[in-house]
Homo-oligomer: A and B are copies of this chain.
Amino acid sequence: MVQFQALDRTFSALSDATRRDILERLGRGPASISELARPSGMSLTGLKKHVKTLEAAGLVTTEKVGRTRTCRLAPGHLDDAMQWIAVHRRRWQRRLDGLAAYVEQTRGGTG
C-alpha cells in the first residue's frame, strides 16, 4: 500500500510538462531555483511549487546553502516508475507471445 502511494506520487509528478522539463534540466547537473526558472520565464514561487512536488515524490532533493537552494536528481529517482511499467509490459508481451504461439499452432493444425 505504501508502495502504491509512492507510485501515485511519482506518476502524478511526471504528469506535468514543466516538471518533466525540470527533471531533464537536472539530468545535466544540479541547478538553483532561479536557474531552473530562467528558460520557462516562470515565477520563482511557481517554480518552487513544482520542485516541492518533485521532492515529495522522491524524484529530486534540495539543499539550501546561504540564500541559494540547489536542486539535484534523487538517486534512483525513476526506478519504481520504470519497474512498474517494465513488469507490466513484460507480462503483457508474454501474453501476446502466448497468443501468437497458439494462433500459429492452430494454423499449422488446419493448414
- A residues neighboring B (CB under 8 Å): 4-5, 7-12, 14-17, 20, 23-24, 27-29, 73, 78, 81-82, 84-86, 88-89, 91-92, 95
| Known contacts A27-B92, A85-B82; A17 and B7 CB within 8 A of each other | yes
A14 to chain B, nearest CB (A): 4
- Complex CA gap A2/B103 in Å reads 37
Considering the complex, give the chain B residue whose CB is closest to the CB of A8: B15
Please state if A15 and B17 are interface contacts (CB–CB under 8 Å).
Answer: no
| Known contacts A15-B12, A89-B78; A20 and B95 CB within 8 A of each other | no
- Complex CA gap A5/B20 in Å reads 12
Considering the complex, give the chain B residue whose CB is closest to the CB of A89: B78
Considering the complex, give the chain B residue whose CB is closest to the CB of A12: B15
Please state if B95 and A23 are interface contacts (CB–CB under 8 Å).
Answer: no
Partner of A73, one of B9, B15, B92: B92
- Complex CA gap A73/B91 in Å reads 12
Please state if A29 and B95 are interface contacts (CB–CB under 8 Å).
Answer: yes
